[in-house]
Amino acid sequence: MKSAIFMDGEKFVETEFKKEEEFEKVIKENSKILFGTKTIYFEIKNKVNTKSLRYCNNCFWR
């Protein structure tokens, strides 16, 4: 089942993206609609380095 959101008479339909870059572009272009007009969008990606993580009693520590 597909879902849709209606806002101010405009229909937003659920979309699947084939590439992460396409998704990121849409988020960046619509950041004010998604997060509010008084927000600042920072284009930052964090890379998780698994070598720096340790597993301990169901917890992750850096």
Residue 11's pLDDT is 85
**What's the pLDDT score for residue 56?**
56
- Asked whether the predicted pLDDT for residue 38 surpasses 90, the reply is yes
pLDDT in tens, 16-36: 889 989 989 988 998 998 899
- The pTM for the full model equals 0.54
Report the C-alpha gap between 6 and 8 in whole angstroms.
7
Rounded percentage of the chain residues whose pLDDT exceeds 90: 21
Identify the pLDDT of residue 36.
92
The amino acid present at 62, given as its one-letter code, is R
